[in-house]
Chains A and B, each alone.
Chain A
């Protein structure tokens, strides 16, 4: 026990080194985004942005701003749709336990296993027939399929932890099922709501398959396609591409700083039982 402090310091040093190795690609993305176009193919490459150049970011402002707005819109729309569908369903499965609820839970679990490209191909035909290709809300619908099963799972897991006495008390006070849900269950489920909202936003923001399949023709494209088109068109201006990538990573960074415990909760919720 006496050698604890020195061992702890050694662990910290190793931990910092490991983290640095793991995050090197992220650092490199930032470094390249600040490299002047002329130095892009320099040999050896500049390992530090000693002469930072913001022309890549200027290109983002000029070309990518509309795409960022679309992504924000699609992300928020997906969050709203996911919460509206998932929270009541979670309440039903956790507390009201309808006959056949177990089957619905099983179907939701299976739904999560279906590959995105298969869904994309199915949606492609439907969207084409309905004439809703290249609409932002069509993309919201498609993106929500990534998040809804997960959302129901999180809400179910969380809400079954709410003591029955709480809902029973609301009933004794004369609240109906809906009132109980809105004024008792939802307020105490804040953590689950935040977790589901975070992940559905992040997934919609990051989606590439649905966007590329269902929304690549119109003018309202999300940022993932903005980057993809950049790579396709001018694959020499890597500072602009990486600058867009940095900007597209901002939501992930914000989430990590503001809501780290929700993120960890979301990752583990599906996989590990308490």
Chain B
């Protein structure tokens, strides 16, 4: 019903061309920048570097809001189960420890003035 009502406006909006489109598709490429941010030191950092950074830039990890240990366990569990991240139990525990520790430091939420 809603679409029907909008149709007159849409027809005006859609500027159809008279002749066949003359579109020339050219190749495209892009060079993506690297992440200049390093993870702060701390227990479990190596486990994070080995298991997480292929998909998650360090800067993104450091920008996450502070959440509970249970939430980090659930997130790491989701990465393993759903996204098939090859992370073993020991590394998973270290990753959780690291994220909890990084977020526990007072500076971690001190970014907002």
- Are the chains A and B members of one assembly? no
Q: Which residues of B contact A (CB under 8 A)?
A: none
